[in-house]
Each structure stands twice: as structure tokens, then as C-alpha cells.
Structure 1
Amino acid sequence: MAKLVLLHKSDSIYDDELDVVYDFPRNYLKALREAEGDWIVYYEPVKSGPRGYFAVAKIQKIIPKPNVEGRYLALIEKGSYLPFDSEVPRLFNGRPLESSLAEPDGTARRGGAVQLAVRRLPEDEFARIVNLGLPADLESIENARYEPNAKKFDDEVAAFDRPVIERLTRRPYRDVAFRRKVRDAYDFRCAISGLQLRNGGGRPEVQAAHIRPVERGGSDAVRNGLALSGTIHWMFDRGLISVADDCETVLVSRNKVPVDVIDRLLRPDGKLWKPSDERNWPSPVNLKWHRENVFGQVIDNEEISWN
């Protein structure tokens, strides 16, 4: 196995869905075959955008791309994709984070490996990039974000010295990372009500909801998330509300939700409030899954009172 850096451009001609599949040509097949079952870091080159290293994922399997000669697909292991809390630039203190991109004196190399869309990444460099993008103490950072004097987590929860891979597969850590990215993408505003509520201490009341739950094949990509208030999150998870195939009209199970409740909870235009960055807009595929598998379904005999 081998860890890699995979380049992705926002205007790529390849059919990438980074939390699901990475599309690549034959000349990178050997390297990607070596990475089956191992982790990769996604990188956006400077000329394409400002993100640098921006996410991590695990390759499950490599397959030929159906009906396309000379192209292949790296299938991403379900639940492995995780965006960095902070994007990591290619240069750190003026020097490349990848040794293959550095001259013997440590300065940045031009051309050569810099142009490769797939680069092998030594274990120590993988760990360094991930640690910069996803700090080991992210849970503690979030815990103290709105309460600077908050008590630190106890040792059982904190375990800030966890190895990188163990941290990347630990659900509580991933939940915190997902929540931070989704709420930030939506500017701490509920996507359905449009409200930006905060409590007296400044803590935002909005939550991060998975459109397609991780346990049902969803990912921790921001595009699989919606920032929702607590009540609307509860309604979304129970299929009382969803989003239409135009990816912006809010659907309501009107035989289960009273009109006065709808009037209080939805934006006046009945449309979804979206992030400013289109790359974070909810995935049409995941919204379709929610409509077909959650919206309007029976709610496990749960009694609902709207009083």
C-alpha cells in the first residue's frame, strides 16, 4: 500500500465526486493500484484555487471506467472522506510540505513532480499534512470555542495523542470536524428557516445534519450536510421535510405538518438558503436519496404533538 496526493481542479474535465470516486487516466494506474486500501490527500493547485491540501479519504478499489478507454476510477471507501478543518498551503514556512517538490536546499521546485496529478506521499509527510489540516485537539478547540474557560475534556475523551489514522476513523472526532465545516459553510444560518440564531453566550444554535446518514452510505463531505436548527433537523431526519429535485424548493409532508408550523419554520419564499461557495451546495444525488428513502416515510409509530 502507499499514500498519495491526488490533484483536483474545480474546472476538471474528469468526473470526480471526491467523497465517492476519483477519475484518472491510465498513466497513473500503477500508483493508484498501490494505494488501494490506503489513505490519500486531495490537493488543489495554486492556479486552480486557494485551497491547497483540503481533504483526506481512503481508496477502496480501482476499476476501469465503464465505456471509456484508458480511464479508471478510484472508488472511495464509504465514510472515509473528511474535509480539512483548515486548508493547508503547499508551502509551510516557505518550504514545500512534500519532499518531492523541494530542491536539495529545501526551496520549492519548479516543474517536474509539481505537475503530476498523482504523487506518492511518505508516511511522515502524510501525517504532517493531516495534522495541519485536522488538529489532534480539534474536539478541545471546538469545546472551548464559545466558552474560553470551559473545562477540558477528561483523559478518556480527549486522548489528543491518538495516531493520525485512529483519529480519522474515530466517529466523535469526525462528527466535530463535520459540524465545524457545515456550520461555517452556511455562516451558522439554518438552511430552511434562514435564521441565524445564537444563545446569550454567542453559541450558534444551528446544527449540522447529514443529508444521507453515514450509517446508510453517506459521507462527511460538506455537500452531504445541511445547517439546520434543532427542530428542523429533527423534522428532516424523520422525513417531514426534504428538498425538491431543483435542489432549492423545500418540500413539506403537509398531511403530517400543520400549516401554521410551516409558516413559522420556513423562509417566506420556501427556498433553501445555500452557502456562498457553490462547491458546498448540497449534492443533488444525496438530496434525491433523502427524498426517496426518508421523506414521507412512516415514523416508527412516533407520536407527534405540535402544541
Structure 2
Amino acid sequence: MAKLVLLHKADSIYEDEPDRVYDFPKNYLKAIEAAVGDWVVYYEPVKAGPRGYFAVAKISQVIPKPGTEGRFLALIAPGTFLQFDSEVPRLLNGRPLEAALTEPDGTPKRGGLVQSAVRVLPEQEFARIVSLGLPENLIDMEATRYDPPGDHILEPAATFERPVLERLTRRPYRDVAFRRKVRAAYDYRCAMSGLRLRNGGGRPEVQAAHIRPVEHQGSDSVRNGLALSGTLHWMFDRGLMSVADDCQTILVSRNKVPGEVVDRLLSPTGKLLTPEDPRNMPHPENLRWHRENVFGNVQSDEPAPWE
């Protein structure tokens, strides 16, 4: 197995969807086949935008691309894709994070491997890039983010660093990383009500909802998330609400939700508030899955929050 850097452009002409599939030509086949079962880091090339290294995922298998001679698809293992909490710049203190892209004097190389869509990434460099993008103490950072200074007891520094792979596979860590990215993408506003609510301490009340749940092979991509208030999150998960195939119109199960509740909870436009960055827009396939598998189908014995 081998870890890789995969170049990805949001407006690629290829059928890339970082949390699901990576489309590539035959000349990279050997390298990507060697990475099956291992992790990759996604990288946005200079001409595509400013993000640098922005996410991590694991390749589960490689298959020929149906109907396209000479192209292949690297399938991403469900539940492994995770966007970095902070995008990692291409250069740190003027030096590349990849030794293979560095001249002997420490300056960045030009051309050649720099332009390659697939690069082998040594274990140490993988760990460094992931640690920069997904800090070990992310859970503590989030837990104390809105606490007043001195309002919590600082624990002694840990004597060891958890292995990077343990961090990437632990559900509590991934939940925090997902929540931070989704809420920030929607500017801490509920996507269905349009409200930005904060408690007395300034902590945002909006939650991060998976459109397609993780247990049903949904990913932790922002494109599989919606920022929702607690009540609307409850309703969305139980199939009382969804989003139409225009990716804008909010659908309501009218026979289960009183009209006055709809009027109180939803934006008057009846449209979904979407992220400013189009790369964070809800993916149409995730919304389709929710409409077909959750909306109107889920029953709950729990009392509705408005009852």
C-alpha cells in the first residue's frame, strides 16, 4: 500500500466527487492501485484555487470507468472522506510540505512532478499534513471555543500524540470536524429557517445534519450536510422535511406537520439557504437519496417537539 496526493479541481471536466470517486487516466493506474486500502490527501492545484491540501480519504478499489476507454475510477471507502478543519497551504515558511517538490536549497520545484495529478506521499509527510489540517486537540478546541477565559480547567499537556489514523477513524472526532465545517459553511444560520441563533454565551444553536446518514454510507463531506436548528434537524431526520430536486425548495410532509408549525419554523420564501461557496452546496445525489429513502417514510414514537 502507499499513500498519495490526488489533485482535484472543483470544476473538473472529469467525474470527480472527492467523497465518492476519483476519475483518472491509465498512466496513473499503477500508482493508484498500489494505494488501494490506504489513505490519500486531496490537493487543489494553484490554477484552480487557493485551498492547497483540503481533505483526506481512503481508496477502497479501482475499476475501469464504464464506457470510457483508458480511464479508471478510484472508489472512496464509505465513511472515510473528511475535510480538513483548516486547509493546509501549499508552502509553509516558503517551503513545500512535500520533499519531492523541494529543491536542495528548500525552494519549490517548478514543472515536472509539481504538475502531476497523482503523487506518492511518504508516511511522515502524510502525518504532518493531516495534523496541520486536523489537529489532535480538535475536540477540546470545539468544547472550549465559546467559554469565557478562565472558565475551564486546563489539563496537563498529553505525553503522546494519538496516531493520525486513529484520529481519522474515531467517530467522536469526525463528528466534531463535520459539525465545525458545516456550521461555518452556512455562516451559523439554519438552512431552512434562515435564523442565526446563539445562546447567552455566544455558542451557535445551529446543528449539523447529515443528509444521507453515515450508517447508510453517507459521508462527512460538507456537501452531505445541512446546518439546521434542533427542531428542524429532528424533523429532517424523521422524514417530515426534505429538499426538492431543484436543490432549493423545502418539502414538508403536510399531513404530519401542522401548517402553523411550518409558518413558524420555515423561511417565508420556502427556499433553502445555501452556502456562499458553491463547493459546499448540498450534493443533488444526497438530497435525492433523502427524498427517496427518508422523506415521508420514517415513523417515530417520540413526541414532536411542538406538541
TM-score (norm 1): 0.96
Query: Is the 2:41–2:57 contact (alpha carbons within 8 Å) kept by the matching residues of 1?
Result: yes
Matched residue of 2:285: which SS?
Answer: helix
Query: Is the 1:137–1:160 contact (alpha carbons within 8 Å) kept by the matching residues of 2?
Result: no
Report what 2:276 is aligned to: 276
Partner Cα distance (1:284, 1:160) in 2: 42
Matched residue type, 2:54: F
Query: Is the 1:140–1:153 contact (alpha carbons within 8 Å) kept by the matching residues of 2?
Result: no
Measured after TM superposition, the shift of residue 297 of structure 1 is 1.2
Matched residue of 1:146: which SS?
Answer: coil
Matched residue type, 2:279: R
Query: Is the 2:26–2:71 contact (alpha carbons within 8 Å) kept by the matching residues of 1?
Result: yes
Report what 2:223 is aligned to: 223
Report what 2:246 is aligned to: 246
Query: Is the 1:113–1:119 contact (alpha carbons within 8 Å) kept by the matching residues of 2?
Result: yes
TM-score (norm 2): 0.96
Matched residue of 2:47: which SS?
Answer: coil
Matched residue type, 1:56: V
The verdict on how the C-alpha distance between 1:152 and 1:170 changes in structure 2, with shifts beyond 3 A counting, is farther
Query: Is the 2:199–2:205 contact (alpha carbons within 8 Å) kept by the matching residues of 1?
Result: yes
Does residue 141 of the first structure (1) align with residue 148 of the second (2)? Answer: no
Matched residue type, 1:258: P
Query: Is the 1:210–1:218 contact (alpha carbons within 8 Å) kept by the matching residues of 2?
Result: yes
Q: Count residues in correspondence.
A: 305
Report what 1:108 is aligned to: 108
Query: Is the 2:190–2:196 contact (alpha carbons within 8 Å) kept by the matching residues of 1?
Result: yes
Partner Cα distance (1:206, 1:232) in 2: 10
Partner Cα distance (1:305, 1:74) in 2: 43
Partner Cα distance (1:250, 1:25) in 2: 39
Report what 2:124 is aligned to: 124
Measured after TM superposition, the shift of residue 11 of structure 1 is 2.3
Matched residue of 1:47: which SS?
Answer: helix
Matched residue type, 1:62: V
Matched residue of 1:57: which SS?
Answer: strand
Partner Cα distance (1:102, 1:180) in 2: 33
Query: Is the 2:231–2:305 contact (alpha carbons within 8 Å) kept by the matching residues of 1?
Result: no
Query: Is the 2:238–2:300 contact (alpha carbons within 8 Å) kept by the matching residues of 1?
Result: no
Matched residue of 2:180: which SS?
Answer: helix
Partner Cα distance (2:91, 2:185) in 1: 25
Matches within 5 A, 1:25-174: 25-147=25-147, 148-151=149-152, 161-174=161-174
The verdict on how the C-alpha distance between 1:203 and 1:160 changes in structure 2, with shifts beyond 3 A counting, is farther
Matched residue type, 1:151: H
Matches within 5 A, 1:140-219: 140-147=140-147, 148-151=149-152, 161-219=161-219
**Which shows bigger deviation, 50-59 or 159-168?**
159-168
Structure 1 residue runs without a partner (length 5+): none
Matched residue type, 2:299: I
Matched residue of 1:85: which SS?
Answer: strand
Structure 2 residue runs without a partner (length 5+): none
The verdict on how the C-alpha distance between 1:150 and 1:27 changes in structure 2, with shifts beyond 3 A counting, is farther
Report what 2:2 is aligned to: 2
Partner Cα distance (2:154, 2:220) in 1: 23
Partner Cα distance (1:153, 1:26) in 2: 52
Query: Is the 1:140–1:152 contact (alpha carbons within 8 Å) kept by the matching residues of 2?
Result: no
Measured after TM superposition, the shift of residue 300 of structure 1 is 3.7
Measured after TM superposition, the shift of residue 303 of structure 1 is 4.0
Partner Cα distance (1:247, 1:19) in 2: 19
